[in-house]
């Protein structure tokens, strides 16, 4: 009896994580399938490539039409939809803050070796142009 106890315990130690991992994968697949079947026109989604779009037509079984810009509709596989996202809601404070700032900030100018004027954008450093063929 003692000779069978150790192999049985080892099999349990290996089998339990495998079963738990399989259950987790099945739940994730079921949740993804539920998401894909619940898509309707007007839903805001993100694709697996990171593209944010609005569902324009979801009547086909394997494809879905996504509006990526005003009047620009593209056709995607349903499996390319990663998740539904909530549309960005602009609060009253955001609306008033954006209209209050009317001042223009000029970017600093950096002089390069070739006396070319290069504008620096928001603190980023700009490398001088490459000199090909010179040694």
Averaged pLDDT, 20-42: 92
Can you tell me the mean pLDDT for 85-105? 62
Residue 118, by phi and psi: left (phi above 0), alpha (psi -120 to 50) or beta?
beta
Is the model's pLDDT at 7 over the cut of 70?
Answer: yes
Cα–Cα distance for residue pair 98/114, rounded to 1 Å: 39
- Does the pLDDT at position 8 exceed 70? yes
pLDDT in tens, 70-82: 999 999 999 999 9
Residue 118 burial by Cβ neighbours in a 10 Å radius (0-12, 13-18, 19+):
middle
pLDDT-derived band of residue 26, with 50, 70 and 90 as boundaries?
Answer: very high
Decide which of 54 and 111 is more confident: 54
CA distance 49 to 72: 18
3-state secondary structure the chain: CHHHHHHHHHHHHHHHHHHHHHHHHHHHHHHHHHHHHCCCCCCEEEECCCCEEEEEECCCCCEEEEEEECCEEEEEEHHHEEEECCCCCCCHHHHHHHHHCCCCCCCCEEECCCCCEEECCCCCCCCCCCCCCCC
Structural domains of the chain ordered from first start: 2-84 (2.30.30)
Integer Cα distance of 96 and 101 in angstroms: 9
């Amino acid at each position: 009896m003692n000779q069978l106890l150790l192999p049985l315990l080892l099999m349990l130690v290996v089998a339990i994580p495998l079963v738990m991992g399989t259950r987790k994968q099945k739940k994730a697949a079921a949740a993804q399938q539920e998401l894909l079947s619940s898509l309707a026109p007007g839903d805001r989604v993100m694709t697996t490539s990171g593209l944010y779009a609005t569902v324009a037509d979801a009547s086909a079984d394997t494809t879905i039409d996504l509006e990526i810009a005003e009047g620009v509709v593209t056709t995607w596989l349903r499996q390319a939809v990663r998740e539904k996202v909530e549309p960005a809601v602009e609060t009253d404070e955001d609306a008033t803050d954006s209209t209050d700032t009317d001042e223009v900030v000029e970017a600093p100018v950096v002089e390069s070796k070739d006396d070319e004027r290069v504008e620096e954008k928001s603190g980023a450093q700009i490398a001088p142009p490459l000199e090909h063929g010179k040694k």
